Structure 1
Amino acid sequence: MKVEKISELTTNRMSVYLRCLNELAAEGTKTVSSETIAKRFHLNSAQIRKDLAYFGEFGVRGVGYYVEELCEHLTKILGLNKEHRVAIIGAGRLGTALTDYYGFTQSNFVVSALFDTDKNKIGQRVRDVIIYDIKDFDQVAKKDKIDVAVITVPAPFAQSILEQVTKAGIKAVMNFAPTPLRVEGTVKLKTVDLTISLESLSYFLAQPSNFNGKK
């Protein structure tokens, strides 16, 4: 298994494949070919086969892929066969909305704690999730076995929050603050910047002749 050569783009596509396969499984589909997956979900069949080949030989000649079996393999490959406990830092509109995000529980992510600095919010609950003082992050993270942190604070505070959560031992962080952050060591940081995506769409509207149809 050539795991050390796997790119983030590949793992992103694996998540897409798993979502597609789960949909097929829910419909009662037992076996499926890469061509059928590609046609049904607007993907590339050669890319599907190449990506899956990094992790083993899953297809059967003349049959294709056994849907439920491949779902199980991809779930394990993506580490979704175990529960991940999530802490959201910033109990504002975005943070509280993410607490109720269906996609988390669907992929075995459980929001276990919210954190904020507002004394009027600390101690309250959002969907049964307690809002803690950010000063108590280290203690709560250890108690609740948090392994993923989501940052939804204003940009000027994001770097210091990142340093605080990584100091507490968190190795996986998703950042929604619209600012680049610096990480050290083995911490994995993913930034979701909605403004950049919208500005890219704005460029398309302003310069439609330069649009080539690619993402």
Structure 2
Amino acid sequence: MIQPRLRTIPEATVARLAVYLRVLAGFADGGRTTVSSGELASAAGVNPAGLRKDLSHLGSCGVRGVGYDVRALRERIARVLGAEQSRACVLVGLGNLGTALADYAGFGSRGFRFTGLFDAAPDRVGERIGGLTVQPMTELEATVTGTGVSIGVIATPAEVAQQICERLTAAGVRSILNFAPVTLTAPAGVDVRQVDLSVELQVLAFLGQQRAVPAGEVSA
């Protein structure tokens, strides 16, 4: 088997591989055994040439005229992304968004499991969400070190997110997914992914506005 060249896979390609993995899971659940590059690309929202370029990082995958074996390609991508391993995560901030994330059952099927939920509000501590009890912030570091947490998810207000980032990284977390509307500063060797829902909505609003402008019309 040709081994994937992990060190050369661009970050943007890794993000698309995660999408392909989700799409392939849907095909497998529907009983599909093979899929063409055109079908997979369409379902993932990319063009076939881009799909083939992304998959070229994994080595030889498909068969000309036949397509891709759904199970084999799913396993190949899962192995590259590390989805076959169970990764412990903690989530800080149990507002509406944090509660929805904690209660989402789909993370488990992708290899992620929350081992701790934390909030500073006394009325949230002790609640059961997604099978876990919300803990006070005083227990954050002990949980991170005691359960081997590799990913920290921040869903707090912006004004406390940096402090939470510093506490997580000091405790050994090296990957952070940040939903707080603020840019975090993290030490070297720590990966931070920013998910700002307001920014994404503004981008969509702009794109919708552009579609509404008649072709050839230029603003003064």
Calculate the TM-score normalised by the size of structure 2: 0.87
Count of residue pairs brought into register by the alignment: 211
Local SS of the residue matching 2:213:
helix
2:71 alignment partner in structure 1? 68
| Structure 2 residue 161 is the aligned partner of structure 1 residue 158 | yes
Q: Bigger shift: 33-42 or 75-84?
A: 33-42
1:24 alignment partner in structure 2? 27
Q: 1:127-206 to 2 correspondence within 5 Å?
A: 127-206=130-209
1:209 alignment partner in structure 2? 213
Q: Bigger shift: 178-187 or 25-34?
A: 25-34
Task: Evaluate the alpha carbon distance shift between residue 126 and residue 49 of structure 1 in structure 2; reply closer, same or farther with a 3 A threshold.
Answer: same
Offset at residue 41 of structure 1 (A): 4.8
1:108 alignment partner in structure 2? 111
In structure 1, give the amino acid aligned to 2:213.
S
Aligned 8 A contact 1:204 1:210 in 2: no
| Structure 2 residue 94 is the aligned partner of structure 1 residue 77 | no
Q: Bigger shift: 168-177 or 21-30?
A: 21-30
In structure 2, give the amino acid aligned to 1:18.
L
In structure 2, give the amino acid aligned to 1:171.
R
Where does structure 2 lack aligned partners over 5 or more consecutive residues?
216-220
| Structure 2 residue 6 is the aligned partner of structure 1 residue 3 | yes
**RMSD after superposition:** 2.0
Structure 2 distance, partners of 1:24, 1:134, is 41
| Percent of residue pairs bearing the same amino acid type | 36
Local SS of the residue matching 1:36:
helix
Task: Evaluate the alpha carbon distance shift between residue 37 and residue 126 of structure 1 in structure 2; reply closer, same or farther with a 3 A threshold.
Answer: closer
Structure 1 distance, partners of 2:121, 2:85, is 33
Task: Evaluate the alpha carbon distance shift between residue 122 and residue 210 of structure 1 in structure 2; reply closer, same or farther with a 3 A threshold.
Answer: farther
In structure 2, give the amino acid aligned to 1:10.
T
Calculate the TM-score normalised by the size of structure 1: 0.89
Structure 1 distance, partners of 2:182, 2:23, is 32
Structure 2 distance, partners of 1:22, 1:120, is 39
Deviations 1:4-32 (A, max 9, x none): 23222101111111122112212222222
Offset at residue 129 of structure 1 (A): 0.8
Aligned 8 A contact 2:85 2:111 in 1: yes
Aligned 8 A contact 2:20 2:44 in 1: no
